[in-house]
């Protein structure tokens, strides 16, 4: 375990660059000043849902909330339904966003960080106890209630330190990160918000969505450059014409990266491609260089027990939902994931839960979500839903599903049928559903 009982909010020198925008480098001192300014304005409350889209707005919001002793709630699902369910659990919660168009059912505060003028700099860099609850990250539960995963400040800081050691981010050569993943996602939160706050690294806060954005962003930051991305985005970058500035490293997560794509990326950009393995519950815990094989190496101070329980400094022990084969204390191989889990756009949902929502809709007598077999390989693959709903149209059912289901999991098509081919014990086999689908295609 790390010895320190507390850590500074931003344990970096005042003039070190933590975030970058086109033509602007935000130093630790400037960042702390922006956070203090916002902290003075934030509403009272113990919990804040940080919905900011812009990475800098998000990070300033995070730090300001910590200065005010508030806990940051991070959710990728920003449906009114999800926000209301958070309110049930945390009655005094308010939402923070930089999007003027956002309508939140919660008490709401709008903010848009303005870089400070150097003359007004105030340097307040509070010590935060390692055990203090800093953030709660949510996953969809199987019962309809979002599952909360608590992150102590110490666990977040120590994991950043581990990642910096793994990816060679050093004082003499700070990494400049361009991230394509949102800050509310655990992977994006760790790599593009926490790393620059805690270790020698900066993160790009300008646009980085389209291949052309990423090319401009990489040109705008100094070497060594690190691209934090996902398999689908690597695929898009490889297909685009954009020339990328020299890349020290590419880091991918959220879904398996296929070796042929990793090889193509390494050759095209003359770089090394790594994957991070992790989960919302435990954060990043291991990495591998994809072209070297399928064996994962734990982060330096992460330990996995024989039954795949993850332990790390100040972190709550947690059993992985993936099936792993332990090779030794430091290495493992992934064998698969639980059948009920669906992963899309870096988010997870439980099929049982999706089916529960579907069959809970007025007029839906029976229903079942179907996962296409090539979900991991085809970027445009989405779920389908079969419903028995004689009184309601597919359009009406879709309308009811919106607001209850995280958008990537909305069915691309709702197919109405007379009945579902359930067997004697009420189960729907893959075979029966497959037969149903092909009968529809022929019709």
Partner 1 sequence: MTADTHATTEYEVAQLLVDALHLEMTAEEIQPEEPLFGEGLGLDSIDALEIALAISRTYGFELRSEEGRTHQVFASLRNLTRYIETHRTK
Write out the residues near partner 1 by the rule CB under 8 A. 101, 207-213, 216, 232-233, 236, 239-242, 345, 378-381, 398, 402, 407-408, 410, 412-413
Distance, CA of 212 to CA of 204 (rounded, Å): 15
Distance, CA of 290 to CA of 274 (rounded, Å): 6
Q: How far is the CB of 239 from partner 1 (least distance, A)?
A: 5
Q: How far is the CB of 214 from partner 1 (least distance, A)?
A: 10
Q: How far is the CB of 146 from partner 1 (least distance, A)?
A: 19
Alpha-carbon torsion angle 415, 416, 422, 426, nearest 10: 100
Nearer residue to partner 1 within complex by CB, 120 or 239: 239
- Going by their DSSP bridges, the two strands 71-74 and 47-50 should be labelled as parallel
Q: How far is the CB of 236 from partner 1 (least distance, A)?
A: 5
Nearer residue to partner 1 within complex by CB, 116 or 211: 211
139: left (phi over 0), alpha (psi -120 to 50) or beta: beta
> What tokens does 106 get?
């919660």
Question: By C-alpha distance, which of 176, 264, 188, 252 is closest to 217?
Answer: 176
Nearer residue to partner 1 within complex by CB, 308 or 381: 381
Nearer residue to partner 1 within complex by CB, 79 or 297: 79
CB atoms < 10 A from the CB of 126, how many?
A: 17
Strand locations in 329-405, DSSP E? 331-337, 341-344, 347-350, 366-370, 384-388
Q: How far is the CB of 215 from partner 1 (least distance, A)?
A: 9
Nearer residue to partner 1 within complex by CB, 71 or 237: 237
Distance, CA of 381 to CA of 404 (rounded, Å): 20
> What tokens does 282 get?
């435990």
Are the CB atoms for 308 and 321 separated by under 8 Å? no
Q: How far is the CB of 126 from partner 1 (least distance, A)?
A: 33
Nearer residue to partner 1 within complex by CB, 241 or 424: 241
């Amino acid at each position: 375990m790390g010895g320190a009982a507390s850590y500074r909010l931003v344990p970096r020198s005042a003039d070190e660059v933590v975030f970058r925008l086109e033509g602007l480098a935000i130093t630790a001192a400037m960042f702390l000043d922006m956070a203090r300014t916002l902290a003075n304005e934030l509403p009272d409350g113990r919990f804040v849902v940080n919905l900011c889209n812009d990475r800098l707005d998000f990070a300033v919001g995070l730090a300001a909330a910590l200065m005010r002793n508030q806990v940051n709630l991070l959710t990728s699902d920003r449906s009114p339904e999800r926000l209301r369910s958070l309110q049930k659990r945390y009655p005094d919660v308010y939402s923070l966003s930089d999007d003027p168009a956002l309508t939140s059912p919660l008490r709401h505060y709008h903010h848009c960080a303005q870089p400070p003028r150097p003359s007004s700099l105030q340097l307040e860099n509070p010590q935060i106890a390692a055990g203090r609850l800093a953030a709660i990250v949510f996953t969809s539960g199987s019962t309809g209630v979002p599952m909360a995963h608590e992150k102590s400040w110490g666990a977040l800081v120590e994991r950043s330190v581990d990642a910096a050691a793994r990816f060679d981010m050093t004082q003499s050569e700070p990494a400049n990160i361009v991230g394509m993943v949102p800050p509310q996602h655990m992977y994006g939160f760790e790599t593009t918000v926490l790393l620059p706050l805690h270790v020698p690294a900066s993160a790009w806060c300008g646009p980085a969505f389209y291949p052309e954005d990423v090319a401009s962003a990489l040109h705008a930051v100094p070497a060594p450059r690190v691209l934090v991305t996902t398999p689908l985005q690597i695929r898009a970058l490889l297909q685009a014409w954009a020339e990328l500035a020299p890349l020290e490293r590419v880091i991918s997560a959220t879904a398996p990266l296929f070796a042929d794509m990793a090889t193509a990326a390494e050759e095209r950009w003359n770089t090394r491609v790594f994957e991070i393995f992790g989960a919302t519950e435990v954060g990043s815990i291991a990495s591998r260089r994809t072209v070297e094989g399928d064996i994962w190496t734990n982060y330096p101070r992460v330990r996995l027990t024989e039954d795949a329980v993850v332990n790390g400094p100040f972190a709550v022990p947690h059993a992985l939902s993936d099936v792993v084969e332990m090779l030794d204390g430091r290495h493992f191989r992934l064998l698969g994931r639980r059948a009920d889990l669906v992963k899309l756009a870096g988010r997870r949902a439980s099929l049982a839960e999706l089916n529960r929502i579907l069959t809970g809709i007025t007029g839906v007598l029976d229903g079942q979500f179907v996962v296409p077999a090539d979900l991991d390989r085809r970027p445009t693959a989405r779920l389908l839903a079969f419903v028995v709903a004689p009184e309601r149209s597919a359009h009406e059912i879709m309308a009811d599903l919106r607001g209850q289901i995280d958008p990537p999991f909305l069915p691309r098509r709702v197919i109405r049928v007379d009945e579902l081919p359930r067997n004697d014990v009420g189960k729907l086999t893959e075979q029966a559903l497959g037969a149903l689908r092909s009968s529809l295609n022929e019709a």
